[in-house]
């Protein structure tokens, strides 16, 4: 099993929109850690959950996860941050939610014991309010 990491700056800041979507390919993806740090002084509320329907990768900005070991194969999953022609839909239930004050540098690090995205499934970081631009990182493993 290979471990991967990716860091990105979000650009989607509107309410009721996915700011980041993690889409599994032909293998399951286990999420180990996700961090969010505000880069704008905007009160922001995010939620993490499975979308009711995944978006399309067409037109999206794919932030390629990098293997921790350069000898490992390229990641078979996508981390999409903006511009899909069809956006994912809102999760019915959120695993986690967080609200930040309008303070640059506010942040959180979420760790998970067994959060798995099934083959061809997805997970979204959802804007529950109008949010500020944020830096997001993800640590995941393909199974």
Question: What is the 3-state secondary structure of 3-23?
Answer: EEEEEEECCCCCCCEEEEEEE
All residues at 6 or more sequence positions from 113 whose CB lies less than 8 Å from its CB, including other chains: none
Does the structure show a pLDDT above 70 at 110?
A: yes
- pLDDT, tens only, 89-107: 999 999 999 999 999 999 9
Q: How far is CA 13 from the centre of its chain?
A: 14
DSSP 117: E
CA dist 136 and 81 (Å) reads: 10
pTM given for the model: 0.93
- pLDDT for the residue numbered 61: 79
Report d(CA 124, CA 79) in Å as an integer: 10
Q: What integer pLDDT is reported at residue 85 of this predicted model?
A: 75
| DSSP annotation of 40 | S
* Whole-number Å distance between alpha carbons of 107 and 33: 13
10-69 residue pLDDT tens: 988 999 999 999 999 999 999 999 999 999 999 999 999 999 887 766 666 788 899 999
The CA distance from 58 to 83, in Å, is: 8
pLDDT tens profile 57-73? 666 678 889 999 999 99
Number of domains in the chain: 1
pLDDT at 57: 64
What is the domain range of residue 138?
3-142
- Cα 50 to the center of its chain, rounded Å: 11
């Amino acid at each position: 099993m290979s471990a991967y990491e990716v860091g990105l700056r979000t650009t989607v800041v509107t309410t009721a929109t996915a700011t980041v979507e993690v889409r599994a390919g032909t293998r399951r993806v286990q999420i180990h850690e996700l961090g969010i740090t505000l880069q704008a002084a905007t009160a922001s509320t995010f939620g993490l959950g499975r979308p009711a329907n995944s978006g399309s990768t067409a037109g999206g900005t794919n932030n390629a996860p990098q293997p921790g070991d350069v000898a490992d194969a390229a990641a078979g999953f996508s981390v999409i941050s903006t511009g899909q022609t069809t956006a994912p839909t809102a999760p019915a239930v959120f695993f986690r939610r967080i609200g930040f004050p309008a303070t640059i540098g506010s942040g959180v690090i979420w760790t998970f014991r067994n959060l798995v995205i099934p083959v061809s499934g997805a997970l979204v970081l959802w804007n529950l309010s109008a949010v500020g631009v944020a830096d997001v990182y993800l640590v995941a493993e393909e199974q």
